[in-house]
């Protein structure tokens, strides 16, 4: 889909500029770990949302790790949609993450003590 | 008497003068709902018994010469994320159906009923308000009264359908990224998203605390003002609600637009607009004699930051439900929320910092302007089920992009009145945007456009 395509480009572009670098940085790790984890799944283990195919996306390990850390049971058939949404979110994030703000810029809070 | 296209102001006047009873007005609304809602699918609960009792109380008070309020006998309905005593607050979800019934009405329902209005039911909406289409996998889509095969827009889809279809003259909705303005546009009615913090959200089911607003829909600008004035006032239960005095807008409605400095938002707000959106904005600009364009700086980044804050705060709100009941979500909502849970906090913090920066730049514009005009949606109502549309030559998802022009505005909480332009065959709205707390100005402009016939809520054929 065009948005996903556009998003991937902007995510990569942001990574080159040092933004969204976490996502990009994880891609190499993801690809490495996919090789080490590609053996038969252990009996009784919860199926990974992405382990039933070759991991080719930098976000697959993030989804797997964060899903486990947050206690989310992500069914395999949900994996591609979650990944697509993460691509969109990181693509959108790149638009403002790359935008320079002064160090003393403060967030816009509403909480008042 | 043909009552179903009467405005709230007309109904209140008839009841106050004894020319009609509140009971008759409510019965007419209930009959209209019975007749048309099987198709429009705008209601998820019809509260006939409660409404009849309430109407009877209004009529008794009127007969005894007691004060019955400025909205006496006006039927209204609320998006089903507002608490209603005795029923569970669904917020468009399957999961919340197992929640206990609410023990008290939302504060805005209490305020409208204190002004004499009569609640007749709860309205369909996109699940957990994470939606621009008005579709709901659990309750079915709300349907556009101008073409029932088309979307109402969302997430306050039932609110849009019920008001545009003449089932009620007034409805309440919520707007995090455009959920009042998008249905107003696709259904061809007036909608007010007030300044962030202006109306209390107390006892409504939240979505994104940083961005959530509540507000009214109506078929005239006067009704918006009437209802908005009845709902104003601080409520400490909503931590974001501003402690400001009530500032009535109705007495200012007829002041006209003379002397107002108005410009049309250019750049981002023209890019991607379908021809109908351009026609509507040009028609409104011409009626107001506006020949000045202005660029809202970095609007595309503002939309992006709103997108990320929405995904992450929404995920934070629903994390427990994602753990326990993920399969019970609408898949389109669930998958976005799961993704939102995985976004680093550094990005959210940057989005909030950008929000502050952007707010200051946009407020600078209002030192030399009073009003900015922008399209409410890029197009008229898409077909129900339509997945993508062509924006600026790129095929993009409808669900995420109907709010393209509303998100950069609600991101910094500016007040907006969406005014309908009755194009053929389908209506579309224009946003009248003002500086914070400038609801009176936006309503004045909306009323002036209505008076000249440029803004009108078209009556559907149903």
Two structure tokens written together for B403: 């709010």
In whole angstroms, how far apart are CA A84 and each of A2, B38, B224, B320, B341?
12, 36, 40, 22, 14
- Locate all alpha helices (DSSP H) within B342-388, ordered by sequence: 345-365
Mean pLDDT taken over chain A: 66
What average pLDDT does the segment B323-327 reach?
A: 97
Of A6, A78, A92, the CB nearest to B307: A92
A46 vs B contacts (CB less than 8 Å): none
pLDDT, residue B194, reads: 98
Q: Do A72 and B341 touch (CB under 8 A)?
A: yes
pLDDT, residue A57, reads: 86
pLDDT, residue A111, reads: 64
Instruction: Provide the pLDDT confidence category of residue A49 given band limits of 50, 70 and 90.
Output: low
Instruction: Provide the pLDDT confidence category of residue B422 given band limits of 50, 70 and 90.
Output: very high
Q: Is B21 a catalytic residue?
A: no
Question: Which chain B residue has its CA at the smallest distance from A20's CA?
Answer: B347
Instruction: Provide the pLDDT confidence category of residue A17 given band limits of 50, 70 and 90.
Output: very low
pLDDT, residue A23, reads: 34
Instruction: Provide the pLDDT confidence category of residue A9 given band limits of 50, 70 and 90.
Output: very low
- State the DSSP code for B91: T
Residue A56 C-alpha, separation from nearest chain B C-alpha, in angstroms = 18
pLDDT at A44 over 70: no
Q: Is B179 a catalytic residue?
A: yes
Instruction: Provide the pLDDT confidence category of residue B1 given band limits of 50, 70 and 90.
Output: confident
- Range scoring the smallest mean pLDDT among A105-109, B63-67, B316-320, B355-359: A105-109
Quick: pLDDT tens for B266-323: 999 999 999 999 999 999 999 999 999 999 999 999 999 999 999 999 999 999 999 9
Q: What are phi and psi of B447, to 5 degrees?
A: -65, -40
Of A2, A82, A111, the CB nearest to B338: A82
What average pLDDT does the segment B396-405 reach?
A: 95
A66 vs B contacts (CB less than 8 Å): 341-342
pLDDT, residue A15, reads: 36
pLDDT at B20 over 60: yes
Q: Do B300 and A74 touch (CB under 8 A)?
A: no
Q: Do A88 and B400 touch (CB under 8 A)?
A: yes
What average pLDDT does the segment B370-390 reach?
A: 97
Q: Do B347 and A97 touch (CB under 8 A)?
A: yes
Closest CA to B191 of B451, B445, B419, B377: B419
pLDDT at A29 over 90: no
Closest CA to B150 of B379, B381, B380, B377: B381
Instruction: Provide the pLDDT confidence category of residue A1 given band limits of 50, 70 and 90.
Output: very low
For an interface test with A, give the residue of B241, B353, B389, B436 to mutate (most A CBs within 10 A): B353
Q: What are phi and psi of B326, to 5 degrees?
A: -55, -35
Q: Is B79 a catalytic residue?
A: yes
Mean pLDDT taken over chain B: 97
Instruction: Provide the pLDDT confidence category of residue A16 given band limits of 50, 70 and 90.
Output: very low
Per cent of chain B over pLDDT 90 is 98
pLDDT, residue B462, reads: 84
pLDDT, residue A5, reads: 35
Q: Which of A3 and A85 is assigned the larger pLDDT?
A: A85
Quick: pLDDT tens for B90-99: 999 999 999 9
pLDDT, residue A58, reads: 84
Instruction: Provide the pLDDT confidence category of residue A26 given band limits of 50, 70 and 90.
Output: very low
B335 vs A contacts (CB less than 8 Å): 78, 81-82, 84-85
What average pLDDT does the segment B161-180 reach?
A: 98
pLDDT at A12 over 50: no
B394 vs A contacts (CB less than 8 Å): 2-3, 6
pLDDT, residue A108, reads: 82
H or E segment to which residue B373 belongs: strand B371-375
What average pLDDT does the segment B105-116 reach?
A: 98
* Beta strands, E only, B227-332: 262-265, 293-294
Determine the Cα–Cα distance for residues B221 and B232; give it in Å rounded to an integer: 16
pLDDT, residue A47, reads: 56
B395 vs A contacts (CB less than 8 Å): 1-2
- Determine how β-strand B428-434 pairs with β-strand B213-218: unpaired
Question: Which chain A residue has its CA at the smallest distance from B316's CA?
Answer: A70
> Is any Cβ of chain B less than 8 angstroms from the Cβ of A4?
no
Chain mean position to CA B332? 22
Quick: pLDDT tens for A80-98: 999 999 999 999 999 999 9
Determine the Cα–Cα distance for residues B249 and B269; give it in Å rounded to an integer: 28
Q: What are phi and psi of B218, to 5 degrees?
A: -160, 175
What average pLDDT does the segment B161-172 reach?
A: 98
Two structure tokens written together for B451: 């008076």
């Amino acid at each position: 889909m065009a948005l996903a395509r556009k998003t991937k480009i902007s995510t990569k572009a942001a990574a080159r500029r040092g933004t969204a670098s976490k996502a990009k940085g994880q891609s190499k790790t993801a690809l490495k770990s996919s090789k080490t984890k590609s053996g038969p799944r252990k009996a009784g283990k919860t199926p990974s949302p992405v382990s039933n195919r070759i991991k080719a996306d930098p976000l697959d390990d993030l989804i797997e790790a964060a899903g486990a850390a947050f206690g989310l049971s992500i069914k395999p058939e949900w994996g591609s949609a979650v990944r697509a949404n993460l691509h969109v979110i990181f693509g959108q994030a790149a638009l403002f993450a790359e935008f320079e703000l002064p160090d003393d810029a403060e967030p816009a809070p509403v909480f008042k003590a | 008497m043909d009552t179903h296209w009467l405005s709230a102001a007309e109904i209140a006047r008839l009841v106050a003068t004894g020319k009609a009873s509140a009971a008759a007005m409510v019965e007419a609304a209930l009959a209209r709902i019975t007749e048309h809602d099987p198709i429009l699918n705008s209601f998820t609960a019809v509260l006939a018994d409660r409404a009849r009792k309430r109407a009877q109380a209004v009529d008794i008070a009127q007969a005894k010469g007691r004060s019955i309020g400025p909205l006496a006998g006006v039927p209204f309905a609320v998006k089903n994320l507002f608490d209603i005593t005795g029923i569970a607050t669904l917020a468009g979800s399957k999961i919340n159906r197992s929640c206990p019934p609410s023990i008290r009405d939302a504060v805005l329902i209490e305020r409208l009923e204190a002004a004499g209005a009569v609640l007749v039911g709860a309205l369909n909406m996109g699940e957990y308000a994470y939606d621009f289409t008005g579709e709901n996998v659990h309750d079915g889509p709300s349907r556009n009264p101008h073409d029932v095969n088309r979307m109402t827009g969302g997430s306050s889809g039932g609110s849009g359908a019920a008001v545009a279809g003449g089932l009620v003259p007034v409805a309440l909705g919520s707007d995090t990224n455009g959920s009042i303005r998008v249905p107003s546009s696709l259904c061809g009615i007036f909608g007010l998203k007030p300044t962030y913090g202006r109306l209390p959200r107390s006892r409504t089911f939240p979505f994104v605390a940083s961005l959530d607003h509540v507000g009214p829909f109506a078929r005239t600008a006067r009704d918006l003002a009437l209802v908005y004035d009845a709902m104003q006032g601080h409520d400490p239960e909503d931590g974001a609600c501003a402690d400001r005095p009530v500032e009535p807008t109705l007495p200012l409605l007829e002041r006209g637009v003379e002397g107002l400095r108005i410009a049309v938002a250019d750049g981002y707000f023209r890019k991607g607009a379908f021809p109908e959106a351009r026609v509507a904005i040009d028609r409104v600009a011409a009626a107001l004699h506006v020949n000045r364009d202005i660029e809202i700086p970095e609007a595309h980044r503002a939309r992006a930051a709103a997108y990320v804050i929405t995904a992450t705060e929404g995920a934070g709100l629903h994390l427990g439900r994602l753990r326990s009941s993920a399969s019970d979500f609408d898949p389109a909502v669930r998958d976005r929320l799961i993704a939102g849970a995985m976004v680093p906090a550094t990005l959210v913090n940057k989005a909030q910092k950008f929000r502050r920066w952007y707010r200051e730049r946009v407020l600078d514009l209002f030192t030399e302007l009073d009003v900015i005009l922008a399209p409410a949606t890029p197009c008229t109502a898409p077909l129900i089920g339509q997945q993508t549309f062509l924006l600026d030559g790129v095929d993009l998802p409808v669900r995420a992009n109907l709010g393209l022009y509303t998100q950069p505005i609600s991101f910094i909480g500016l007040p907006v009145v969406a005014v309908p332009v009755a194009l053929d065959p389908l209506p579309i709205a224009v946003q009248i945007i003002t500086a914070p707390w400038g609801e009176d100005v936006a309503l004045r402009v909306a009323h002036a456009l209505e008076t000249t016939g440029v803004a009108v809520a078209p009556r559907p054929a149903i």
